[in-house]
Chain A
């Protein structure tokens, strides 16, 4: 039953977070904005449209969105929601988690180069050019959580904040949360790293990589992005707050509410800040690495 709720939340709740972010940004800009359910309608519309494939593309272009979604779903089954047990959990699954997303990135970038267009190539170059900085940050965060929880399972690592541990180790956890937040902004292509609403291809990272996808393929890509946002927010929420304290179904509902809260926070950050110059993004990411690394250091004193 809990597994079903986990899967249902993962699959059905994730586009809502995109809608919350959009709504928050609209309200912050003084508009009414589209409804929070808009992404669902967008996905439905895209699914019904036809596919237009360029003659340059090969089967990789078609396969990539499917792999992105498949890896995201599998990764989502590894992250605990609320205090429920995860459907899949084994020692070292945090490595599997990270490398699943890396597989998705590989195929997205390859599909971008498949189109033979310089815009997609540029997006792919930037995407992989920042990924090598986010991975160490994530691993430092994981190592810190391993140390804290004494376990190698992602579900137990993320629950390390339960008990009095959150109060005892507030500083390292806050540093880890800051680093993970920067990683989330990068991976989900949010301001200040990337502007998801711009129409200028030369300034895009993620959006331009998927410029040539259409119809159901684009729907899969957008859905994959939503899943990624959901999963990374879940990880962040676990680190930020002792989520396992409140158990059972109320805890689950509270967790989902917390995810929406983080989405609102992302919307506010996007509204308040401007996009960083591309040259300064590595500096931000190195700050994330240092933040998580320092957290690991503090836990080893």
Chain B
């Protein structure tokens, strides 16, 4: 591994990142001082965010160009503590999507959440947005527990305010409360984690854990980290806050949340598992299993949704599952001493972090455009938007192909890396069980194809199913430019993945603790062939299209108003088209045991029935069928205990007196007291 940047360069990059983060935090502040309808507040916020984004990208890429790490010590508000900030290739890797998606989201919000149309909450949105991005960077740079926890809490709180920005909507409020609950559990877990780590190693921070990981303390640390970071990342079954939160937030915020914020959970998991000297095999297997389950059921739940943004949120859960597959494979490789698995698994995990940030943000921006132009998130009210919003449709399609992991876009490359690692496990003697994840991943990919054909087909193709969809218009330029940038990124990483291979190796080396001896990504993964294959595919398709297109153009010119063949049924209408639910029904009916859809069946009981309707809705099974009934039962038990709280002050004093007397008696041991009495 060559090093392109020395230690002083790394320190400069670290300063640059800190400066960029501070600028991001301040980006929303000028807007507070200006009038709420003023466009200048919004433009200033966007400008500052973009400048910070560019500077941050430079810094992050600089960190990626070097091995080792740079640290910066600052005075801390806590006694006897120092705030330690550090930058290495891993932090730099996770920082790149933060700056990129953050800056693009800010440009997007200029048209999507413009100050003119949202005077009440526009300034709050921009302030919290900047603070959120800044806190993310500080999470990545924090090397001691106190600053990590502070940055994490700022992230959780600003995220809450962003999710509940449309507080008049009951569903949004509910989503915010569920999010806050899960956030609190996360931060409690993190506190416990850092305290335990402090007791074990004497340092409050991300230090090497000097104990045998097979001990109970190590297992507790791992479980705490898995629970806390797993909730943040959206690992099943701790994912229930994610769908409603991502659906309720404004679309560019959802893009940042899905693309970047949940990756902080992955970052935490990656850092934590990298701290242990030796990893037990069971941990890697657990992460693999969680990844496989999350990926598969994430996409199954996505198939059952007909809310566009909820569907995309479930796909985030699926992709987190794929990322965990890579991490689990790397952990297993480290336990069994297979550096090739470590490199392939880690490379797949990290590259998918970037890829998911790119295509998920692209998809959320597209969804935002759809919502902006039709006012609806419901798939059953859309249709035929490709003719009315051609650019948005094209970009959304690119995002859809990328998220299904299809060549020639970037999703395929990271999935290929994971497949290669799993196939190597299949070939190796004694560890073939790891390869069972590969068919699960394949099924997930096929289900993702089904889901995104549904989304693209129902939203953009066919005929409009409602008046709102008929009246749709193309999005303004500030909303199209970020999508174009992200689509280009997807194409670039799909066609030329070899560009990021050295940076990937450096970031993976940080996790593995040392540069992986003798392994290089170029040897293990045929990235050059992938590029060639992608280009060959595009070329072949282009050649065929060049032959076919003139014929088609002639056909359209000659007969411009042909209807679709409808088998002679003369009264064709948009309502006859397949709906999203019916498209997915073949698959969702098979998974009804997990999805448990709430169905309202039409009551047709006579020969000439009145008009009736059918309604089907899939809620989150873990939240609604498992957690909510238990919480309700706990409330009933608590209500019985509440009878003791009558509001009578005297009874309360009596309780206090009773407690004191009981303690005294316990202390004096009643028997001795009696003998004392009789003794006098």
Contact = CB atoms under 8 A, between A and B. Distances in A.
Q: Is A–B contact present in the complex under a CB 8 A cutoff?
A: yes
Interface of A: 50-58, 60, 62-63, 65-67, 69-71, 73-74, 88, 90-93, 95-96, 98-100, 102-103, 105-106, 109-110, 112-119, 121-122, 124-126, 128-129, 131-140, 142-143, 146-147, 150-152, 201, 211-212, 215-217, 220, 282, 289, 293, 296, 300
Nearest to B452: A106
Given A124-B583, A146-B423, A146-B427, A50 B558 contact: yes
B401 interface: yes
Interface in B523-544: 524-526, 529-530, 533, 536-537, 540-541, 544
B548 A114 contact: no
Contact of B423 (A52, A60, A152): A152
A227 to B, nearest CB: 12
Nearest to B539: A70
B82 interface: no
Given A62-B552, A92-B526, A139 B453 contact: no
B427 A98 contact: no
A102 B583 contact: no
Nearest to A153: B526
Nearest to B444: A132
A254 B280 CA distance: 52
Contacts, number: 246
Contacts of A112: 457
B634 interface: no
Given A66-B541, A95-B415, A95-B419, A116 B574 contact: yes
B537 A109 contact: no
Given A110-B457, A128-B453, A129-B586, A102 B545 contact: no
A220 to B, nearest CB: 7
A99 B406 contact: yes
B439 interface: yes
A117 B443 contact: no
B439 A118 contact: no
The 7 closest A-B pairs by CB, nearest first: A113-B457, A121-B578, A129-B586, A51-B555, A136-B439, A128-B450, A116-B462
Interface in B562-576: 562-567, 572, 574, 576
B416 interface: yes
Given A113-B456, A128-B450, A146-B427, 8 more contacts: A51-B555, A55-B561, A70-B544, A96-B412, A106-B406, A113-B453, A132-B450, A215-B551
16 contacts: A51-B551, A52-B555, A62-B548, A92-B416, A93-B526, A98-B442, A106-B452, A106-B453, A113-B457, A116-B564, A121-B577, A129-B586, A135-B439, A135-B442, A143-B439, A296-B426
A56 B564 contact: yes
Contact of A55 (B554, B563, B577): B563
A35 to B, nearest CB: 27
A51 B447 contact: no
B466 to A, nearest CB: 14
B587 interface: yes
A117 B383 CA distance: 12
A209 to B, nearest CB: 11
A70 B540 contact: yes
Contacts of B432: 147, 296, 300
A76 B533 CA distance: 13
Dominant secondary structure at the B interface:
helix
B450 to A, nearest CB: 4
Given A60-B461, A69-B544, A102-B446, A140 B439 contact: yes
A107 B547 CA distance: 19
Contacts of B407: 96, 99-100, 103
Contacts of B35: none
Interface string B371-412: 000000000000110110000010001000100111100001
A115 B563 CA distance: 9
A102 B449 contact: yes
Contacts of B510: none
A63 B441 CA distance: 28
A117 B419 contact: no
B3 interface: no
Contacts of A124: 453, 457, 578, 583
A186 to B, nearest CB: 12
Given A52-B562, A147-B432, A114 B462 contact: yes
Contacts of A216: 547-548, 551
Nearest to A115: B564
Given A96-B530, A99-B407, A143-B438, A135 B445 contact: yes
B411 to A, nearest CB: 9
Contacts of A62: 545, 548-549, 552
B458 interface: yes
A151 to B, nearest CB: 8
A80 B590 CA distance: 37
B530 to A, nearest CB: 7
Contact of A99 (B405, B556, B586): B405
A217 B555 CA distance: 11
Contacts of A70: 537, 540-541, 544
Contacts of B393: 58
Q: Which of A140, A146, A201 counts the most B-chain CB atoms under 10 A from its CB?
A: A146
Nearest to B300: A132
B424 A152 contact: yes
Given A51-B554, A118-B576, A135-B445, A65 B548 contact: yes
A117 B566 contact: yes
A220 B549 CA distance: 13
B463 A220 contact: no
A131 B401 CA distance: 16
B495 to A, nearest CB: 14
Contacts of B420: 91-92, 95, 152
Contact of A113 (B438, B458, B562, B572): B458
Nearest to A96: B533
Contacts of A135: 439, 442-443, 445-446
Contacts of A282: 590
A91 B526 contact: yes
Nearest to A109: B453
Given A96-B533, A126-B586, A113 B461 contact: yes
A3 to B, nearest CB: 14
Contact of A110 (B453, B574, B577, B582): B453
A29 B217 CA distance: 73
A103 B446 contact: no
A277 to B, nearest CB: 13
Given A62-B548, A136-B439, A115 B462 contact: yes
B154 interface: no
Contacts of B77: none
